[in-house]
Amino acid sequence: MGMFVKLGGAVNVLGGREEFRFQTTAEALDAMPENATLEGEIFVSGALMNTGQTLRVEGTVRVLRSFVCDRCLGQFSSPQEYSFSEDLARASDGETPIDGMLGVGEDAVDVAPLVRDTILTAQPLRNLCRADCRGLCSRCGADLNQGDCGCDRRSIDPRLADLQKLLTTEDG
């Protein structure tokens, strides 16, 4: 899906700006991260600005990100805000516009690819419910964020360790 912003009169004037606002979904935008789900509506707002040399596209994307924590395996949702800013060069007369360039006579800019890239590159490599998530006890599986379970995790009985390795292999 495209998100076309018309180049109104304002952006033809130096310093002029044209605001935009879109509502979409991860599916419609084809912006689906591998390790998370973006729930419901995605809100995009921003403005096109004529800076003289370029046409600057600036704005923010707001999503509700749901994920499973890599350490405690809990399910979490948190609102995220990502910002973007890109300068589109303007092609001069007779020049063939390349990617990220605005052709002569073009009367709209599609901000969808920029929004899609912004969302995908902003995704963290690791999913953590919080930076200091304590994860699960390697012995009893208790969520250590809820308090200590009392297990001694420093010395694992070698026979148990083997069994645990086997169980982990079968699980995964």
Stretch that binds Zn ion, among 22-30, 98-106, 116-124, 137-145 (CB under 5 A): 137-145
Residue 151 binds Zn ion, judged by CB under 5 A: yes
Residue 140 binds Zn ion, judged by CB under 5 A: yes
Residue 65 binds Zn ion, judged by CB under 5 A: no
Residue 88, CA distances (Å) to 46, 57, 131, 151 in order: 15, 8, 37, 58
Which has the closest alpha carbon to 122: 31, 41, 40, 29? Answer: 31
Q: Count residues near Zn ion (CB under 5 A).
A: 11
Pick 10 or 144: Cβ nearer Zn ion: 144
Pick 54 or 123: Cβ nearer Zn ion: 123
DSSP 143: B
DSSP 61-100: EEEEEEEE-TTT--EEEEEEEEEEEEEEEEPPTTPPP-TT
3-class secondary structure, 1: coil
Contact with Zn ion (CB under 5 A) among 71, 84, 115, 127: 71
Q: Which residues bind Zn ion (CB under 5 A)?
A: 69, 71-72, 129, 133, 137, 139-140, 142, 149, 151
